[in-house]
Protein backbone atom coordinates (compact mmCIF):
# COMPACT_ATOMS: atom_id res chain seq x y z
CA UNK A 1 0.00 0.00 0.00
CA UNK A 2 1.33 3.40 -0.93
CA UNK A 3 -1.51 5.28 0.73
CA UNK A 4 -0.87 6.20 4.35
CA UNK A 5 -3.77 6.75 6.70
CA UNK A 6 -3.57 8.08 10.25
CA UNK A 7 -5.90 7.81 13.20
CA UNK A 8 -8.25 10.69 13.90
CA UNK A 9 -6.86 13.42 16.13
CA UNK A 10 -9.21 15.71 18.02
CA UNK A 11 -8.52 19.24 19.24
CA UNK A 12 -10.67 21.88 20.90
CA UNK A 13 -9.67 25.52 20.42
CA UNK A 14 -10.04 28.00 23.28
CA UNK A 15 -13.18 29.39 21.66
CA UNK A 16 -14.78 25.94 21.82
CA UNK A 17 -14.39 24.88 18.17
CA UNK A 18 -13.95 21.11 17.94
CA UNK A 19 -11.49 19.99 15.25
CA UNK A 20 -11.01 16.46 13.90
CA UNK A 21 -8.15 15.70 11.51
CA UNK A 22 -7.45 12.50 9.61
CA UNK A 23 -4.70 12.16 7.05
CA UNK A 24 -5.50 9.95 4.06
CA UNK A 25 -2.82 9.98 1.40
CA UNK A 26 -4.50 7.76 -1.20
CA UNK A 27 -5.43 10.50 -3.68
CA UNK A 28 -4.30 14.15 -3.93
CA UNK A 29 -7.59 15.48 -2.54
CA UNK A 30 -8.87 16.81 0.77
CA UNK A 31 -12.28 17.54 2.25
CA UNK A 32 -13.11 20.25 4.82
CA UNK A 33 -16.41 20.17 6.71
CA UNK A 34 -17.87 22.58 9.24
CA UNK A 35 -20.94 21.23 10.99
CA UNK A 36 -23.12 23.40 13.23
CA UNK A 37 -25.17 21.78 15.94
CA UNK A 38 -28.43 23.23 14.64
CA UNK A 39 -31.17 21.78 12.50
CA UNK A 40 -34.93 21.46 12.38
CA UNK A 41 -34.65 19.97 15.90
CA UNK A 42 -33.86 23.46 17.19
CA UNK A 43 -36.80 25.21 15.53
CA UNK A 44 -40.03 26.36 17.08
CA UNK A 45 -43.46 26.70 15.56
CA UNK A 46 -43.65 29.81 13.42
CA UNK A 47 -40.03 29.45 12.38
CA UNK A 48 -40.00 25.95 10.91
CA UNK A 49 -37.53 25.65 8.05
CA UNK A 50 -35.41 28.52 9.35
CA UNK A 51 -32.21 26.43 9.70
CA UNK A 52 -32.42 25.31 6.08
CA UNK A 53 -33.08 28.88 4.94
CA UNK A 54 -30.07 30.13 6.92
CA UNK A 55 -28.02 27.49 5.10
CA UNK A 56 -29.13 29.00 1.79
CA UNK A 57 -28.21 32.49 3.00
CA UNK A 58 -24.67 31.39 3.74
CA UNK A 59 -24.20 31.07 -0.01
CA UNK A 60 -25.32 34.68 -0.49
CA UNK A 61 -22.12 36.42 0.30
CA UNK A 62 -20.04 38.19 2.90
CA UNK A 63 -18.26 41.56 2.58
CA UNK A 64 -15.09 39.70 1.66
CA UNK A 65 -16.64 37.16 -0.71
CA UNK A 66 -19.71 38.66 -2.45
CA UNK A 67 -22.44 36.30 -3.66
CA UNK A 68 -21.37 34.16 -6.57
CA UNK A 69 -17.65 34.71 -6.27
CA UNK A 70 -17.06 31.54 -4.29
CA UNK A 71 -18.85 29.17 -6.65
CA UNK A 72 -16.43 30.38 -9.24
CA UNK A 73 -13.36 30.37 -7.01
CA UNK A 74 -14.00 26.74 -6.09
CA UNK A 75 -14.67 25.58 -9.61
CA UNK A 76 -11.54 27.29 -10.89
CA UNK A 77 -9.44 24.98 -8.72
CA UNK A 78 -11.48 21.91 -9.65
CA UNK A 79 -13.29 21.60 -6.36
CA UNK A 80 -16.85 21.07 -5.22
CA UNK A 81 -18.78 22.53 -2.32
CA UNK A 82 -22.20 22.13 -0.91
CA UNK A 83 -24.22 22.11 2.28
CA UNK A 84 -27.00 20.16 3.87
CA UNK A 85 -29.51 20.77 6.61
CA UNK A 86 -30.92 17.90 8.59
CA UNK A 87 -32.82 17.33 11.81
CA UNK A 88 -29.82 17.75 14.06
CA UNK A 89 -27.24 19.69 12.10
CA UNK A 90 -26.37 22.05 9.28
CA UNK A 91 -23.11 21.18 7.53
CA UNK A 92 -20.97 22.85 4.87
CA UNK A 93 -18.13 21.28 2.94
CA UNK A 94 -15.55 21.76 0.25
CA UNK A 95 -13.63 18.92 -1.39
CA UNK A 96 -10.66 20.12 -3.39
CA UNK A 97 -7.35 19.12 -4.87
CA UNK A 98 -5.30 18.91 -1.67
CA UNK A 99 -3.07 21.91 -2.35
CA UNK A 100 -6.15 24.17 -2.35
CA UNK A 101 -7.58 23.25 1.04
CA UNK A 102 -6.57 26.68 2.35
CA UNK A 103 -9.40 28.17 0.26
CA UNK A 104 -11.92 25.98 2.07
CA UNK A 105 -10.56 27.00 5.48
CA UNK A 106 -10.89 30.68 4.57
CA UNK A 107 -14.42 30.38 3.21
CA UNK A 108 -15.80 28.64 6.27
CA UNK A 109 -14.00 30.89 8.76
CA UNK A 110 -15.41 33.89 6.94
CA UNK A 111 -19.02 32.78 6.75
CA UNK A 112 -19.06 31.49 10.31
CA UNK A 113 -19.30 35.17 11.33
CA UNK A 114 -19.73 37.51 8.36
CA UNK A 115 -22.71 36.35 6.27
CA UNK A 116 -24.64 39.41 5.07
CA UNK A 117 -28.30 38.36 5.02
CA UNK A 118 -29.00 41.16 2.57
CA UNK A 119 -32.79 41.84 2.68
CA UNK A 120 -33.18 41.66 -1.11
CA UNK A 121 -31.33 38.34 -1.18
CA UNK A 122 -33.58 37.05 1.63
CA UNK A 123 -36.67 37.83 -0.44
CA UNK A 124 -35.23 36.28 -3.62
CA UNK A 125 -34.37 33.18 -1.62
CA UNK A 126 -37.89 33.00 -0.17
CA UNK A 127 -39.28 32.15 -3.60
CA UNK A 128 -36.45 29.69 -4.27
CA UNK A 129 -37.18 27.84 -1.02
CA UNK A 130 -40.93 27.87 -1.60
CA UNK A 131 -40.13 26.44 -5.04
CA UNK A 132 -37.94 23.79 -3.41
CA UNK A 133 -40.82 22.78 -1.16
CA UNK A 134 -43.23 22.74 -4.11
CA UNK A 135 -40.83 20.47 -5.96
CA UNK A 136 -40.92 18.05 -3.02
CA UNK A 137 -44.71 18.32 -2.88
CA UNK A 138 -44.82 16.90 -6.39
CA UNK A 139 -43.74 13.59 -4.89
CA UNK A 140 -46.47 11.52 -3.20
CA UNK A 141 -43.97 10.14 -0.71
CA UNK A 142 -43.05 13.62 0.51
CA UNK A 143 -46.60 14.09 1.79
CA UNK A 144 -46.64 10.62 3.31
CA UNK A 145 -43.37 11.16 5.18
CA UNK A 146 -44.38 14.62 6.35
CA UNK A 147 -47.75 13.52 7.69
CA UNK A 148 -46.49 10.31 9.27
CA UNK A 149 -43.62 12.04 11.04
CA UNK A 150 -45.98 14.74 12.25
CA UNK A 151 -48.21 12.07 13.77
CA UNK A 152 -45.27 10.18 15.29
CA UNK A 153 -44.00 13.31 17.10
CA UNK A 154 -46.55 15.49 18.81
CA UNK A 155 -44.19 17.46 21.06
CA UNK A 156 -40.62 17.07 19.84
CA UNK A 157 -39.58 19.29 16.90
CA UNK A 158 -38.88 16.19 14.78
CA UNK A 159 -42.61 16.73 14.21
CA UNK A 160 -42.06 19.23 11.43
CA UNK A 161 -40.27 18.93 8.08
CA UNK A 162 -36.72 20.20 7.60
CA UNK A 163 -37.83 22.35 4.65
CA UNK A 164 -40.44 23.97 6.92
CA UNK A 165 -44.19 24.46 6.81
CA UNK A 166 -45.39 26.60 3.91
CA UNK A 167 -47.02 29.07 6.30
CA UNK A 168 -43.66 29.78 7.94
CA UNK A 169 -41.83 30.07 4.62
CA UNK A 170 -44.20 32.93 3.78
CA UNK A 171 -43.69 34.78 7.05
CA UNK A 172 -40.16 34.24 8.39
CA UNK A 173 -38.35 37.60 8.39
CA UNK A 174 -34.81 38.65 7.61
CA UNK A 175 -34.23 39.57 11.25
CA UNK A 176 -35.41 36.17 12.46
CA UNK A 177 -33.01 34.51 10.04
CA UNK A 178 -30.15 36.68 11.19
CA UNK A 179 -30.95 36.05 14.87
CA UNK A 180 -30.94 32.30 14.21
CA UNK A 181 -27.53 32.65 12.56
CA UNK A 182 -26.18 34.72 15.45
CA UNK A 183 -27.44 32.23 18.01
CA UNK A 184 -26.17 29.01 16.48
CA UNK A 185 -23.22 29.84 14.22
CA UNK A 186 -20.61 29.98 16.92
CA UNK A 187 -17.29 28.15 17.18
CA UNK A 188 -18.44 26.58 20.42
CA UNK A 189 -21.46 25.13 18.58
CA UNK A 190 -19.47 23.73 15.64
CA UNK A 191 -17.38 20.73 14.61
CA UNK A 192 -14.73 21.14 11.90
CA UNK A 193 -13.27 18.12 10.13
CA UNK A 194 -10.50 17.63 7.58
CA UNK A 195 -9.79 14.33 5.85
CA UNK A 196 -7.29 13.96 3.03
CA UNK A 197 -3.76 14.42 1.79
CA UNK A 198 -2.29 17.01 4.17
CA UNK A 199 0.16 17.27 7.03
CA UNK A 200 -1.87 17.47 10.25
CA UNK A 201 0.52 19.67 12.19
CA UNK A 202 0.75 22.17 9.34
CA UNK A 203 -3.00 22.15 8.74
CA UNK A 204 -3.71 22.65 12.44
CA UNK A 205 -1.52 25.76 12.39
CA UNK A 206 -3.52 27.14 9.47
CA UNK A 207 -6.79 26.36 11.22
CA UNK A 208 -5.68 28.08 14.41
CA UNK A 209 -4.64 31.17 12.48
CA UNK A 210 -8.04 31.48 10.83
CA UNK A 211 -10.43 30.27 13.51
CA UNK A 212 -9.01 30.95 16.96
CA UNK A 213 -9.87 34.67 16.82
CA UNK A 214 -13.56 34.00 16.17
CA UNK A 215 -15.29 34.88 19.44
CA UNK A 216 -17.12 32.33 21.49
CA UNK A 217 -20.85 33.04 21.87
CA UNK A 218 -23.32 32.19 24.61
CA UNK A 219 -24.30 28.52 24.51
CA UNK A 220 -27.45 28.10 22.37
CA UNK A 221 -30.66 27.19 24.20
CA UNK A 222 -31.15 23.47 24.79
CA UNK A 223 -33.99 21.54 23.15
CA UNK A 224 -36.41 20.85 25.98
CA UNK A 225 -39.50 19.47 24.29
CA UNK A 226 -39.01 15.76 24.90
CA UNK A 227 -41.51 13.51 23.19
CA UNK A 228 -43.73 11.79 25.79
CA UNK A 229 -44.23 8.02 25.68
CA UNK A 230 -46.47 6.82 22.86
CA UNK A 231 -49.74 5.35 24.08
CA UNK A 232 -50.97 3.16 21.30
CA UNK A 233 -50.68 2.79 17.54
CA UNK A 234 -51.30 5.91 15.43
CA UNK A 235 -52.52 5.81 11.85
CA UNK A 236 -52.37 8.32 9.04
CA UNK A 237 -53.96 8.30 5.60
CA UNK A 238 -52.80 10.64 2.88
CA UNK A 239 -55.16 10.80 -0.10
CA UNK A 240 -53.88 12.58 -3.17
CA UNK A 241 -53.61 12.11 -6.91
CA UNK A 242 -51.13 9.37 -7.70
CA UNK A 243 -50.60 6.05 -9.39
CA UNK A 244 -49.30 3.88 -6.57
CA UNK A 245 -50.00 3.19 -2.92
CA UNK A 246 -47.26 3.34 -0.31
CA UNK A 247 -46.96 2.20 3.28
CA UNK A 248 -44.62 4.03 5.63
CA UNK A 249 -44.26 2.31 8.96
CA UNK A 250 -42.42 4.18 11.71
CA UNK A 251 -41.48 2.65 15.06
CA UNK A 252 -40.13 4.76 17.89
CA UNK A 253 -36.37 4.14 18.04
CA UNK A 254 -33.59 5.16 20.42
CA UNK A 255 -31.06 7.92 19.81
CA UNK A 256 -27.77 6.95 18.12
CA UNK A 257 -25.75 7.08 21.35
CA UNK A 258 -28.05 4.51 23.00
CA UNK A 259 -26.64 0.96 23.19
CA UNK A 260 -29.83 -0.39 21.59
CA UNK A 261 -29.28 1.60 18.41
CA UNK A 262 -26.77 -0.77 16.86
CA UNK A 263 -28.88 -3.78 17.85
CA UNK A 264 -31.81 -2.25 16.04
CA UNK A 265 -29.48 -1.60 13.08
CA UNK A 266 -28.99 -5.37 12.87
CA UNK A 267 -32.77 -5.85 12.95
CA UNK A 268 -33.04 -3.33 10.09
CA UNK A 269 -30.38 -5.19 8.10
CA UNK A 270 -32.14 -8.53 8.56
CA UNK A 271 -35.59 -7.17 7.79
CA UNK A 272 -34.89 -4.73 4.99
CA UNK A 273 -31.29 -5.18 3.80
CA UNK A 274 -27.79 -4.05 4.56
CA UNK A 275 -26.67 -0.48 4.65
CA UNK A 276 -23.83 0.82 6.76
CA UNK A 277 -22.85 4.21 8.10
CA UNK A 278 -20.26 5.58 5.73
CA UNK A 279 -20.77 2.89 3.14
CA UNK A 280 -22.92 2.29 0.12
CA UNK A 281 -25.89 0.05 0.42
CA UNK A 282 -25.96 -3.27 -1.38
CA UNK A 283 -28.95 -5.15 -2.71
CA UNK A 284 -31.64 -6.31 -0.27
CA UNK A 285 -33.09 -9.19 -2.25
CA UNK A 286 -32.26 -11.76 0.40
CA UNK A 287 -33.80 -9.68 3.20
CA UNK A 288 -36.86 -10.91 5.06
CA UNK A 289 -39.17 -8.21 3.77
CA UNK A 290 -38.07 -8.48 0.14
CA UNK A 291 -38.83 -12.17 0.24
CA UNK A 292 -42.13 -11.71 2.05
CA UNK A 293 -43.42 -8.78 0.02
CA UNK A 294 -41.66 -8.46 -3.33
CA UNK A 295 -41.10 -12.12 -4.15
CA UNK A 296 -44.73 -12.78 -3.29
CA UNK A 297 -45.69 -10.03 -5.74
CA UNK A 298 -47.41 -7.90 -3.14
CA UNK A 299 -44.93 -5.03 -3.37
CA UNK A 300 -42.73 -3.46 -6.02
CA UNK A 301 -40.05 -2.47 -3.54
CA UNK A 302 -39.21 -2.25 0.13
CA UNK A 303 -36.55 -0.47 2.17
CA UNK A 304 -35.73 0.22 5.78
CA UNK A 305 -34.14 3.12 7.57
CA UNK A 306 -32.65 3.76 10.98
CA UNK A 307 -31.32 7.30 11.19
CA UNK A 308 -28.59 8.08 13.74
CA UNK A 309 -30.13 10.99 15.63
CA UNK A 310 -29.40 13.14 18.67
CA UNK A 311 -32.80 12.49 20.24
CA UNK A 312 -34.89 9.33 19.93
CA UNK A 313 -36.19 9.12 16.37
CA UNK A 314 -37.73 6.40 14.21
CA UNK A 315 -36.99 3.04 12.64
CA UNK A 316 -38.96 3.09 9.42
CA UNK A 317 -40.02 0.73 6.68
CA UNK A 318 -41.20 2.01 3.33
CA UNK A 319 -43.12 -0.23 0.95
CA UNK A 320 -44.27 0.52 -2.60
CA UNK A 321 -47.44 -1.45 -3.17
CA UNK A 322 -47.37 -3.35 -6.42
CA UNK A 323 -49.79 -2.27 -9.12
CA UNK A 324 -53.01 -4.27 -8.69
CA UNK A 325 -52.45 -5.00 -4.98
CA UNK A 326 -54.02 -3.27 -2.02
CA UNK A 327 -52.33 -1.69 0.98
CA UNK A 328 -54.49 -3.90 3.22
CA UNK A 329 -53.01 -7.16 1.94
CA UNK A 330 -49.47 -5.72 1.97
CA UNK A 331 -49.93 -4.45 5.53
CA UNK A 332 -51.07 -7.92 6.67
CA UNK A 333 -48.03 -9.61 5.16
CA UNK A 334 -45.74 -6.93 6.56
CA UNK A 335 -47.20 -7.35 10.04
CA UNK A 336 -46.81 -11.13 9.90
CA UNK A 337 -43.14 -10.79 8.97
CA UNK A 338 -42.41 -8.22 11.64
CA UNK A 339 -44.20 -10.36 14.22
CA UNK A 340 -41.84 -13.24 13.45
CA UNK A 341 -38.84 -11.07 14.15
CA UNK A 342 -40.29 -9.47 17.29
CA UNK A 343 -41.13 -12.97 18.55
CA UNK A 344 -37.43 -13.78 18.49
CA UNK A 345 -37.25 -15.67 15.20
CA UNK A 346 -33.78 -14.43 14.24
CA UNK A 347 -30.89 -16.79 13.55
CA UNK A 348 -27.18 -16.61 14.27
CA UNK A 349 -26.57 -17.00 10.52
CA UNK A 350 -28.57 -13.84 9.83
CA UNK A 351 -26.63 -11.95 12.48
CA UNK A 352 -23.31 -13.16 11.03
CA UNK A 353 -24.39 -12.14 7.54
CA UNK A 354 -25.35 -8.66 8.73
CA UNK A 355 -21.89 -8.26 10.29
CA UNK A 356 -20.08 -9.43 7.18
CA UNK A 357 -22.08 -7.11 4.95
CA UNK A 358 -21.28 -4.19 7.21
CA UNK A 359 -17.55 -4.96 6.94
CA UNK A 360 -17.69 -4.87 3.14
CA UNK A 361 -19.75 -1.69 3.14
CA UNK A 362 -17.22 -0.02 5.41
CA UNK A 363 -14.39 -0.99 3.09
CA UNK A 364 -16.22 0.73 0.21
CA UNK A 365 -16.81 3.80 2.37
CA UNK A 366 -13.11 4.40 2.91
CA UNK A 367 -12.50 5.22 -0.76
CA UNK A 368 -13.74 8.79 -0.56
CA UNK A 369 -12.42 11.55 1.70
CA UNK A 370 -15.72 13.44 1.43
CA UNK A 371 -17.69 10.55 2.86
CA UNK A 372 -15.23 9.90 5.65
CA UNK A 373 -15.15 13.55 6.69
CA UNK A 374 -18.93 13.75 6.66
CA UNK A 375 -19.26 10.74 8.92
CA UNK A 376 -16.71 12.00 11.41
CA UNK A 377 -18.53 15.35 11.69
CA UNK A 378 -21.97 13.73 11.74
CA UNK A 379 -21.01 11.20 14.42
CA UNK A 380 -19.21 13.79 16.51
CA UNK A 381 -22.50 15.69 16.67
CA UNK A 382 -24.69 12.86 17.90
CA UNK A 383 -22.37 10.62 19.90
CA UNK A 384 -18.70 11.48 19.43
CA UNK A 385 -16.61 10.59 16.38
CA UNK A 386 -15.53 7.25 17.84
CA UNK A 387 -19.10 6.10 17.22
CA UNK A 388 -18.09 5.88 13.56
CA UNK A 389 -14.52 4.71 14.08
CA UNK A 390 -15.62 1.92 16.45
CA UNK A 391 -18.75 0.96 14.55
CA UNK A 392 -17.51 -2.40 13.31
CA UNK A 393 -16.08 -3.48 16.64
CA UNK A 394 -19.31 -2.57 18.42
CA UNK A 395 -21.27 -4.40 15.76
CA UNK A 396 -19.05 -7.43 16.19
CA UNK A 397 -19.89 -7.52 19.89
CA UNK A 398 -23.66 -7.64 19.31
CA UNK A 399 -25.11 -11.01 20.37
CA UNK A 400 -28.14 -12.87 19.11
CA UNK A 401 -29.86 -12.43 22.47
CA UNK A 402 -29.42 -8.67 22.23
CA UNK A 403 -30.89 -8.56 18.73
CA UNK A 404 -33.88 -10.66 19.73
CA UNK A 405 -34.40 -8.56 22.81
CA UNK A 406 -34.21 -5.29 20.89
CA UNK A 407 -36.63 -6.56 18.26
CA UNK A 408 -39.12 -7.57 20.94
CA UNK A 409 -38.92 -4.20 22.70
CA UNK A 410 -38.99 -1.86 19.73
CA UNK A 411 -41.17 -3.61 17.13
CA UNK A 412 -44.37 -3.15 19.09
CA UNK A 413 -47.59 -2.04 17.50
CA UNK A 414 -48.30 0.36 20.33
CA UNK A 415 -45.04 2.13 19.55
CA UNK A 416 -45.58 2.76 15.87
CA UNK A 417 -47.24 5.09 13.43
CA UNK A 418 -48.67 3.56 10.27
CA UNK A 419 -48.91 5.86 7.26
CA UNK A 420 -50.70 4.96 4.03
CA UNK A 421 -50.63 6.89 0.80
CA UNK A 422 -53.84 6.23 -1.11
CA UNK A 423 -53.97 7.53 -4.68
CA UNK A 424 -57.21 9.19 -5.66
CA UNK A 425 -58.35 9.99 -9.15
CA UNK A 426 -60.04 13.34 -8.82
CA UNK A 427 -58.14 16.46 -9.76
CA UNK A 428 -56.86 19.10 -7.44
CA UNK A 429 -58.21 18.99 -3.91
CA UNK A 430 -60.08 22.18 -2.96
CA UNK A 431 -57.63 25.05 -2.64
CA UNK A 432 -57.45 27.06 0.53
CA UNK A 433 -57.04 30.80 0.39
CA UNK A 434 -53.41 31.85 0.56
CA nearest neighbour of 298 among 334, 251, 342? 334
Min. distance of Cβ 139 from other proteins in angstroms?
7
Angstrom distance (rounded) from CA 17 to CA 209: 13
Min. distance of Cβ 142 from other proteins in angstroms?
10
Angstrom distance (rounded) from CA 259 to CA 252: 15
Instruction: Between 11 and 364, name the residue whose CB sits nearer to other proteins.
Output: 364
Min. distance of Cβ 156 from other proteins in angstroms?
27
Helix %, strand %, coil % for the chain, to 5? 45, 20, 35
Question: SS3 of 49, please?
Answer: coil
Instruction: Between 77 and 257, name the residue whose CB sits nearer to other proteins.
Output: 77
DSSP code for 220: P
Instruction: Between 96 and 411, name the residue whose CB sits nearer to other proteins.
Output: 96
Angstrom distance (rounded) from CA 304 to CA 318: 6
Min. distance of Cβ 59 from other proteins in angstroms?
8
Q: Count the Cβ atoms, other than its own, within 10 Å of residue 294.
A: 19
Instruction: Between 42 and 275, name the residue whose CB sits nearer to other proteins.
Output: 275
Question: Are residues 423 and 241 in contact, defined by beta-carbon separation less than 8 angstroms?
Answer: yes
Min. distance of Cβ 17 from other proteins in angstroms?
26
Residue 410 Cα distances to 180, 271, 372, 405, angstroms: 36, 14, 30, 9
Min. distance of Cβ 119 from other proteins in angstroms?
13
Min. distance of Cβ 406 from other proteins in angstroms?
22
Min. distance of Cβ 218 from other proteins in angstroms?
34
Angstrom distance (rounded) from CA 55 to CA 127: 15
Instruction: Between 205 and 285, name the residue whose CB sits nearer to other proteins.
Output: 285
Angstrom distance (rounded) from CA 176 to CA 290: 46
Residue 320 Cα distances to 35, 180, 219, 286, angstroms: 34, 38, 44, 17
Alpha helices in 212-326 (DSSP H): 260-272, 288-289
Angstrom distance (rounded) from CA 135 to CA 122: 20
DSSP code for 310: S
Instruction: Between 126 and 409, name the residue whose CB sits nearer to other proteins.
Output: 126
Instruction: Between 202 and 323, name the residue whose CB sits nearer to other proteins.
Output: 323
Instruction: Between 157 and 371, name the residue whose CB sits nearer to other proteins.
Output: 371
Min. distance of Cβ 29 from other proteins in angstroms?
5
Sequence-separated (6 or more) residues with CB below 8 Å from residue 53: 125, 129, 164, 169, 172, 177
Instruction: Between 119 and 241, name the residue whose CB sits nearer to other proteins.
Output: 241
Amino acid sequence: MTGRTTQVTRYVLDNGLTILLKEVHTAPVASWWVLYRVGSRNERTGQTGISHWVEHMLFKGTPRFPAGTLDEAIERVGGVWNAQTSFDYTAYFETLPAQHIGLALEIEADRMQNALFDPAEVEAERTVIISERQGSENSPTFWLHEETRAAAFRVHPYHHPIIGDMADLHTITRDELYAHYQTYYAPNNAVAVAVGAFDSAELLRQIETLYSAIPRRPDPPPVTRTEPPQQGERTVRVERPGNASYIYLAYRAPEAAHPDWIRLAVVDSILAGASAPGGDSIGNRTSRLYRALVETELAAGVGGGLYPSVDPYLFSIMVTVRDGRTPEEVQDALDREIARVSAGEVSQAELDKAKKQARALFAYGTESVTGQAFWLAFAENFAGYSWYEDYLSRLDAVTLDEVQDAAARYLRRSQRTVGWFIPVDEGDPPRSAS
